[in-house]
Amino acid sequence: MIHVHDITKNFGSMTVLDNVNFSARGGEFLTIVGPNGAGKTTLIKIMATLVNATGGTVEIGGFDVKKSPEKVRGIIGVISHNTYLYNELTAGENLKFFGKMYAIPENDRRVDEVLGETGLADRKHDRVGTFSRGMKQRLSIARAILHKPAVLLLDEPYTGLDQQASASLESVLNSLTGSGITTIMISHDLKRSLALSDQVMILTSGTVRYHAPASKIADVAEFQALYERYTRN
């Protein structure tokens, strides 16, 4: 489903990603962890067609991100720090707007469906400007899954969420993965990463230092020890 092959990214003379390789099969959940500046966001942006790689290829659902960016955008949902939401519109209006952009069939019904899935049904008619951070985050998930993407790309979705909002995000992610969506998540939360993932990857200074099935790691303490070992330069 996802093939990242020899991805390299330079900004000027600085190499931010250095021959990154990995794959994820349909329905798999892969988490990338690593220190600040490791290149995680840059990698997700390349996968999301927002940044061009200097070298290498990314294929998602059979489409090359550089050659067929529109096709790739049609099958991915992206959640990042930019919520892509309009404060002056209501939750329902925001989603309807994106639904029209994607030409989603039966848009109104789909909007109600994703509002239900993200626990926002009763906030449909409230302006997003009045939402808390956690509610905005849920709505940005609703927006990201509106077109039923086969792949979800998440850049630190838990950042800034309180325990309740995190738990609710976790249950949304759990139900999505149950429905067969393929997910790549960046996180600094080792505990959650281990619980949600099929595969975990440690990226340090643009290099994959560790990549294994999550089932190979016994518990969070072991993951923490691996993280410390592989993030030392």
Ligand X SMILES: Nc1ncnc2c1ncn2[C@@H]1O[C@H](COP(=O)(O)OP(=O)(O)OP(=O)(O)O)[C@@H](O)[C@H]1O
Question: Residues interacting with Mg ion, by CB under 5 A?
Answer: 40-41
- Supply the minimum distance, in Å, between the C-beta of residue 201 and ligand X: 12
Taking residue 24's Cβ as centre, other Cβ atoms within 10 Å add up to 19
Q: How many residues bind ligand X (CB under 6 A)?
A: 10
- Residue 16 binding result from Mg ion, ligand X, none, given CB thresholds of 5 to 8 Å by partner type: ligand X
Give me the least distance between CB of 76 and ligand X, in Å please. Answer: 18
Q: Could you give the CA distance from residue 156 to residue 231 in angstroms, rounded to a whole number?
A: 18
The token duo for 75 is: 């099958």
Query: What distance in Å separates the CA atoms of residue 195 and residue 103, rounded to the nearest whole number?
Result: 35
Instruction: Out of 7, 20, 24, 40, point to the residue binding ligand X (CB under 6 A).
Output: 40
Residue 144 or 186 with smaller CB distance to ligand X: 186
Show Cβ contacts of residue 230 under 8 Å, excluding neighbours closer than 6 positions.
Answer: 202, 204, 209, 210
Q: How far apart are the first and last CA of the chain?
A: 32
Handedness of CA 85, 87, 90, 91 (dihedral sign): positive
Q: Which of 133, 195, 187 is nearest to 165 (CA)?
A: 133
Residue with tokens 């529109």: 70
List the interface residues with ligand X, window 96-125 (CB under 6 A): none
Nearest to 39 by CA among 6, 3, 9: 9
In the complex with ligand X, which residue's Cβ is closer, 26 or 37? 37
Asked if 37 interacts with ligand X (CB under 6 A), we say yes
> What is the amino acid identity at position 232?
R
Say whether residue 20 binds ligand X (CB under 6 A): no
Q: Is residue 39 involved in binding ligand X (CB under 6 A)?
A: yes
Nearest to ligand X by Cβ — which residue? 41
8 Å CB contact between 74 and 103: no
Stretch that binds ligand X, among 31-39, 60-68, 97-105, 169-177 (CB under 6 A): 31-39
Does 204 participate in binding ligand X (rule CB under 6 A)? no
Q: Choose between 41 and 168: whose C-beta lies nearer to Mg ion.
A: 41
Is residue 145 part of the contact set for ligand X (CB under 6 A)? no
- Look at residue 197 and give its three-state secondary structure: coil
The interface region with ligand X, picked from 30-38, 95-103, 192-200, 210-218 by CB under 6 A, is: 30-38
59 or 155: CB nearest ligand X: 155
Residues of this chain that interact with ligand X (CB under 6 A) are: 11, 16, 34, 36-42
